[in-house]
Amino acid sequence: MALDQAQPVPPGPRESVQLDSAEALWLLGTVSFGRVVFTQHALPTVRPVNHVLDNGDIVIRTHEAAALTSRTRQTEAPGVVVAYEADAIDPVTHLGWSVVVTGYARLVTDAGDLARYQALLRPWVSRAMDYAVRIHPDLITGIRLAPAG
């Protein structure tokens, strides 16, 4: 939508309500789209991805040439530090929520787990996505944007 066609935001202040980690993780599991943030050449890099929540871990699919695949392949335990953000914010009312998870990302190497994730998580692009990365949350934060009052 062009800027001159944007709907006006209803008047009234909003408040930011902190979510506990359990509710934040639950909300993250209600959507399939988010953004993974990692470093590439010492600079922050953000990639939009789809995900599935599996036993409290976030799993995304990647491909051979993906920067995150390369980073997780080259790193020893505990993994690569990443952030993962997902949200559901109404563009008209500006109400909704946002969740950020920070943790370690590791390449999924177990053939059974990889096959299960390939069945659960369909890539958006036509490129072969033969890898999966599991993000284990160490820090979960979230806010709900609600009408003030």
Q: Residue 42's beta-bridge partner residues?
A: none
Domains of the chain by start residue, with CATH: 20-147 (2.30.110.10)
Q: Residue 45's beta-bridge partner residues?
A: 38
DSSP 94: -
Q: What is the pTM of this model?
A: 0.87
DSSP 109: -
How many alpha carbons lie under 13 Å from residue 11 in its C-beta half-sphere? 0
Distances (CA, A) of 2 to 6, 13, 74: 6, 25, 43
Query: How remote is the C-alpha of 27 from its chain's centroid?
Result: 11
Tens place of pLDDT per residue across the chain (149 aa):
455 555 555 567 889 999 999 999 999 999 999 999 999 889 999 999 999 999 999 999 998 888 898 888 887 778 899 999 999 999 888 899 999 999 999 999 999 999 999 999 988 777 788 999 999 999 999 999 998 87
DSSP 65: T
Helix ranges, 64-121 (H): 67-74, 111-120
